[in-house]
Chains A and B, each alone.
Chain A
Amino acid sequence: MSHNLLLVLPLLLPLLGAVACLLVGQRAKVQAILAGVVQAAWLASASVILYEVSQNGIFATRIGNWPAPFGITFVADLFGALILTSAAVVGLAVWLFSLQGLDFERKRIGYYPLLLLLQMGVSGACLTGDIFNLYVWFEVLLICCFALLSLGGTRAQLEGTLKYVTINLIASGLLLTGIGVIYSLFGSLNMAVLAQQVRQHGHQSMPLLSLTSIFFLTGFGIKSAIFPLFFWLPASYHTPPIAISAFIAGLISKVGIYTLIRLFTLLFVSDLDFMLPLLLVLSGLTMVVGVVGAAAQTDFRKILSFHIISQIGYMLMGLAIYTPLALAGSVFFIVHNILVKTNLFLVSGVVARLHHSFSLKKLGEVYCRQPMLALLFLVSALALAGMPPLSGFWGKFMLAKGGFEAGNYTIVGVSLFVSLATLFSMTKIWNEVFWKNKPASELPIPESAPKATVPTVWLLYTPVVLLFIAILFISVYAEPLIGLAQQAANQLLYTKAYTDAVLNQ
């Protein structure tokens, strides 16, 4: 398959799928089938890209056949391909879950096209090599998130979405101004060209470059929910239905951190003496605040939401340590976290579907009634807490080792403390939701609530099991992914391969 086609497939498939969904009107079932086909195809194309990159190195396509700085270039490197593939796995799982886990009305109006276009945005953000184009894909992501978060329009959703919208619009504004500054200073928008220029005569305009990096740090920092910028996340992620929040929570803030890593390894490398300690402090604070926030919550989804923040801290930590091993740790951690976090959200959805609540106080006895679910949760939760040999452990391992080797003992200590606190929260959920007896006062189930029939339950379980298998796979058979992550980190740190692929076609 030619690279020209391959690289735009992840973009075009969801787009065409969304168009088809819009054209069939409000027939939810047809839309569901269309979306499912697209999900499978998307996963296939992403996997092929990943395979290609791992075999033949970075490759690019020049959109519109214009040479690199003048047109837009799509590049697939390992980092992008890994994120894309895990996004596709998650997409398939969430689609499966939505078949039974989402109400008919939402599916009828808008859910599928919005989800597909969101995936299109993810593809674009992962593959583009142009900084303004990146901004555009982020706006696609953003408005899809707006629409999905508010889909259904319950009060909580509206409140969450309003906060999300306001803060993210400001982030977008900062990004746009930052891009303007970059264009003004360098006269180019292509990231590979910019990378070359920064490395050749970056020091002349270095002060302004670090000033610019503040724009991007804030902008993408908001989108990836790092420490003093994360407030929109716990305010909004727990409000929509699980079929929506699982995808957004599992994926979107990771796309933000993906971009931060991309930019701070490719462009803003002239002022690392200042930036890396700053990022280190931010990552530590992000971790701790996230995990402390989670400890305070008593709602299944809110605990998970706060944990997203703390894990963003881990991902940032790899960037802040800035060695190949630590960066590889971040890459691995992102992939792991996309899968695990989505799975946990889906589990919470299944629990809520069967027991009609997200509140830890009202739930109980899942351990006895749904042992399978308990197992699925336990493994994912322990993976999140970084218990060996589950996937989180490998990420933690690489980060800790990288941190020790770089002499950053404090941050490793903090990260280990945070992983203990993560274990605390996860076992808190386990104790309350799975072990505890269900409070007697909560026993009567509302009459109107839909009864979960056998096929329903099966369909609800399928995506969880799918992700569970994926998690186990990268846990037990971790070496290939770790190898890929290390290659990806090398590609990130030694940008020559990237710039060559973009510029010397």
Chain B
Amino acid sequence: MKTIIFSTAIRLLTPVFLLFSVYILFRGHNHPGGGFIGGLICSIAFVFHVLAHGPGVTSRVFFSVVLYYYSRPKSHSYTRYALRVLRANFRNKRDTDEPHKWSFVFLRIRPLYLVATGLLLAASSGIVSLLGQKPFMTSYWLKFELPVIGSIGTPSLFDLGVYLLVLGVVLQFIFIMSKE
């Protein structure tokens, strides 16, 4: 499966899929779609990415964040320090000839964290109403409508939770299984 054309196509298509899945997620309340379908589309994008590039690459590209920093020497002002750190992180350029050592934090988003977050979001969208002495999962809607997305309320939050959870679950499956 790891032909060059396939992997290149996948690399190009993945962001499109991701955008499309988010679109599906938010239009779901009025048109076919919703959290499940959105989450599944999104995860299928990643599934193909995993199939094309292997789980290691996918998780490095999409699910890990590397934050670079160094301890601020006295000579650097705060602004300068902040700018340098920002540049290092965003443009991925580090001046290696600097006297100080760069260190980094490596954050990996495990799929199970996504699962937990999704579950938490879904549950807390219901808990909101408990605070207002209403039954669990009573919906609250914003008074105004957003362009493209439409009206926003706690059910949308719930749907988002479903989306994240489905994504997390499928990723968990795929990561583990492709390592087997």
Q: Which of A12, A16, A64 contacts B135 (CB 8 A)?
A: A64
Contacts A8-B130, A64-B136, A65-B138 given; does A16 touch B123 at CB 8 Å: yes
Knowing A22-B112, A64-B138 are in contact, say whether A2-B123 is a contact too (CB < 8 A). no
Q: Is A372 an interface residue (CB 8 A)?
A: no
**What is the chain B residue whose CB lies nearest that of A25?**
B110
Closest to A5 in B: B130
Q: Interface range on chain B: under 10, 10 to 19, 20 to 34, or 35 or more?
A: 20 to 34
With A and B bound together, what is the CA distance between A311 and B180 in angstroms? 43
Within 8 Å of chain A (Cβ to Cβ): is B72?
Answer: no
A2 to B134, CA, bound (A): 9
Q: Are B113 and A23 interface neighbours, CB within 8 A?
A: yes
Q: What 1/0 mask marks residues of chain B from 128 to 146 whose CB sits below 8 Å from any chain A CB?
A: 0110011111110000000
Cβ-based interface call for A302 (8 A): no
Residues of chain A contacted by B10 (CB below 8 angstroms)? none
- The reply to whether B136 and A63 contact each other, CB–CB distance below 8 Å, is yes
Residues in B with CB closer than 8 Å to A63 are 135-137
Contact B134 A4 (CB under 8 A): yes
B111 to chain A, nearest CB (A): 10
Q: Is B119's beta carbon under 8 Å from chain A?
A: yes
Task: Tell whether, in the assembled complex, residue B134 and residue A65 are in contact, meaning their CB atoms are under 8 Å apart.
Answer: yes
Interface size grouping (class) on chain A: 10 to 19
Among residues 362 to 408 in chain A, which have CB atoms less than 8 Å away from a CB atom of chain B?
none
Mask for A42-81, Cβ within 8 A of B = 1, else 0?
0000000000000000000111110000000000000000
B18 within 8 A of A: no
The yes or no answer to B120 lying at the interface (CB within 8 A) is yes
Residues on the B chain within 8 Å of A61, using CB: 135-136
Q: CB-nearest residue of chain B relative to A8?
A: B136
Known: A22-B116, A63-B135, A65-B134. 9 other contacts (CB 8 A): A4-B133, A8-B136, A12-B136, A15-B119, A19-B116, A19-B119, A22-B115, A62-B135, A64-B139
Q: Which residues of A contact B (CB under 8 A)?
A: 2, 4-5, 7-8, 12, 15-16, 18-19, 22-23, 25, 61-65
Find B120's partner among A4, A8, A19, A25 (CB 8 Å cutoff). Answer: A19
The yes or no answer to B149 lying at the interface (CB within 8 A) is no
Picked from A19, A22, A23, A64, the residue with its CB within 8 Å of the CB of B123 is A19
Determine whether B127 belongs to the interface, using a CB cutoff of 8 Å to chain A.
yes
Q: Which residues of B contact A2 (CB under 8 A)?
A: 133
Bound Cα distance A245, B119 (Å): 27
CB-based nearest B residue for A62:
B135
Partner of A64, one of B113, B116, B137: B137
Q: Which residues of A contact B112 (CB under 8 A)?
A: 22
Pick from B110, B115, B130, B139: contact of A4, CB under 8 Å: B130
Q: Within 8 Å CB of B123, what residues of A? A: 12, 15-16, 19
A16 — which chain B residues lie within 8 A by C-beta?
120, 123
Task: Please provide the 8 A-B residue pairs with the shortest distance between their CB atoms, ordered closest to farther.
Answer: A22-B116, A65-B138, A64-B137, A8-B136, A4-B135, A19-B120, A19-B116, A23-B116
* Complex: chain B residue closest to A21, CB-CB: B116
Cα(A4)–Cα(B117), bound, Å: 24
Within the complex, the shortest CB–CB distance from B139 to chain A, in Å, comes to 7
Whether B137 lies near A22 (C-beta < 8 A) is no
Report how far A342 CA is from B119 CA in the complex, Å. 30
Q: Which residues of A contact B137 (CB under 8 A)?
A: 63-65
Residue of A with least CB distance to B155: A64
CB-CB nearest in chain A for B137: A64
Tell me how far the C-beta of B161 lies from the nearest C-beta in chain A, rounded to whole angstroms: 11
Instruction: List, sorted by A's number, 26 A–B pairs whose CB atoms are closer than 8 Å.
Output: A2-B133, A4-B130, A5-B130, A5-B136, A8-B126, A12-B127, A12-B136, A15-B119, A15-B123, A16-B120, A16-B123, A18-B119, A19-B116, A19-B119, A22-B113, A23-B116, A25-B110, A61-B135, A62-B135, A63-B136, A64-B135, A65-B129, A65-B134, A65-B135, A65-B137, A65-B138
